[in-house]
A and B are shown apart, each in its own frame.
Chain A
């Protein structure tokens, strides 16, 4: 079974600064995907970024980038130039196989201070 661990329940960052959210996972699979989802107060889960395990290059999406360390089973999210709209819960998630059901971590509440 796969597990995803987010050990920090909450973090706070000043607007325009950089913040890193941590995530570790455990799996015996070789082919899998990792994701970061954002859930604002509206409850709508939005995909922020994803990483395919067989790709060594870290994924980037504008201000969002990941540090994927496959051997260490670590998948952290870096948010650069934090904006007030980044305030939300962030979930790290894992998926593999044909049914691709997502296994989520417990999430982290990120607050961006003006």
Chain B
């Protein structure tokens, strides 16, 4: 079956512009996660959705970052007024349910470059 998909695969934007990154989880997966992978910070958690609600937003680095999930499916991560330090690979993962015993399946990521 289809895995987690993310779009775009690569995004180059100018400093100060807003960007939207999309994640399509595996059908039926109720939990969805966003992570960021950068050279300086490694892999770090951003936000977790259970259904359409986000009980854990503790990893969002600033109020320029926001995310939403609609219909218990697609999620969008929005970065406003992008900065060069936002350059990273943004990974999305989904799992069948909540709890670490459910495997997280990752998408291929979106590479964001802020110039």
Interface residues in chain A, defined as those with a beta carbon under 8 Å from any beta carbon in chain B: 32-33, 42-47, 50, 52, 91, 95-107
Contact = CB atoms under 8 A, between A and B. Distances in A.
Contacts of A96: 100
A100 B59 contact: no
A99 B55 contact: yes
Contact of A98 (B35, B93, B98, B104): B98
B108 A102 contact: no
B106 A98 contact: no
Q: Is the interface of A mostly helix, strand, loop or mixed?
A: loop
A102 B104 contact: yes
28 contacts: A33-B101, A42-B108, A43-B89, A43-B109, A44-B106, A44-B109, A45-B91, A45-B93, A46-B106, A52-B101, A91-B43, A97-B100, A98-B98, A98-B99, A99-B48, A99-B98, A100-B99, A101-B33, A101-B45, A101-B48, A101-B59, A102-B33, A102-B104, A104-B35, A104-B43, A105-B42, A107-B42, A107-B43
